């Protein structure tokens, strides 16, 4: 009798999860970025950055990041990727998301934040990994100067790979500066838990 109840409970849980489109662990989802320099595992913070985390998960599930490059790498600052292919062609993206930089998370070494234009509400798919603590990127006020950059995840494995990115020679390519001379490719982005 308990086996049947337990099985029915599991069925109910999995059906509920399917119906809502959320996993029980959405607030702690881990994503593995396999690059040509090695693997980086990041843990999303769906509790403090729910919109940004779900946005990142959507792009991962769609295979969007596969074949994109880290197109801007500045030592002692950050490594940015998730928007361009090896030919420096920008990929088509979904609509911009809400800026969640006011969530209390800080741009510390090893954290991921959303890249954006001068418009605070313009983030889509591009993200960056902080190579050091970058407090000047944090939220200070809800205005164009103070919005900051929304942190939504942190590297939990593979920071050595991120540091190796910062050692790659860079130059100008396709109208962009600080582009690694040898492509740093995200070969695959996948949800691992």
Q: For 33-78, what is each residue's pLDDT tens digit?
A: 999 999 999 999 999 999 999 999 999 999 999 999 999 999 999 9
pLDDT at 144: 82
Torsion, Cα of 156, 55, 136, 89 (10° steps): 100
pLDDT at 24: 35
Which residues make beta-bridge pairs with 154? Answer: 43, 111
Asked if 32 and 39 touch (Cβ cutoff 8 Å), the reply is yes
Backbone φ and ψ for 91, nearest 5 degrees, come out as -80, 150
Q: What is the largest CA-CA distance in the chain?
A: 68
pLDDT at 6: 38
| Cα three-residue angle 116-40-35, rounded to 5 degrees | 85
Confidence of residue 26 (pLDDT cuts 50, 70, 90): low
Q: What is the pLDDT of residues 160-177, one digit of tens each?
A: 999 999 999 999 998 999
Which structure tokens are listed for 32?
């593995």
Asked if 78 and 130 touch (Cβ cutoff 8 Å), the reply is yes
Is pLDDT above 60 for 12?
Answer: no
Query: Mind listing the domains of the chain with CATH numbers?
Result: 24-191 (2.40.100.10)
Confidence of residue 21 (pLDDT cuts 50, 70, 90): very low
pLDDT at 15: 34
CA atoms of 41 and 81, how far apart (whole Å): 15
Which structure tokens are listed for 122?
């313009």
Cβ within 8 Å of residue 185, ≥6 positions away: 35, 36, 67, 68, 69, 86
What is the rounded average pLDDT of the residues 11-27? 39
pLDDT at 27: 67
pLDDT at 193: 83
């Amino acid at each position: 009798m308990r086996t049947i109840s337990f099985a029915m409970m599991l069925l109910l849980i999995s059906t509920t999860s399917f119906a809502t489109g959320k996993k029980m662990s959405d607030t702690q989802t881990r994503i593995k970025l396999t690059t040509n320099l090695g693997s980086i595992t990041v843990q999303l913070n769906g509790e403090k950055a729910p919109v940004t985390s779900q946005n990142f998960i959507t792009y991962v599930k769609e295979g969007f990041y596969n074949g994109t490059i880290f197109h801007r790498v500045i030592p002692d600052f950050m490594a940015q990727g998730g928007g361009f292919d090896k030919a420096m062609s920008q990929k088509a993206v979904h609509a911009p998301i809400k800026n969640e930089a006011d969530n209390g998370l800080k741009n510390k070494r090893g954290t991921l934040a959303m890249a954006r234009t001068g418009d605070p509400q313009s983030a889509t798919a591009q993200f960056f990994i902080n190579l050091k603590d970058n407090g000047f990127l944090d939220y200070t006020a809800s205005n164009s100067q103070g919005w900051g950059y929304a942190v939504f995840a942190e590297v939990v494995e593979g920071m050595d790979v991120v540091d190796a990115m910062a050692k790659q020679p860079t130059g100008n390519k396709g109208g962009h500066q600080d582009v690694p001379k040898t492509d740093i490719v995200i070969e695959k982005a996948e949800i691992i838990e």
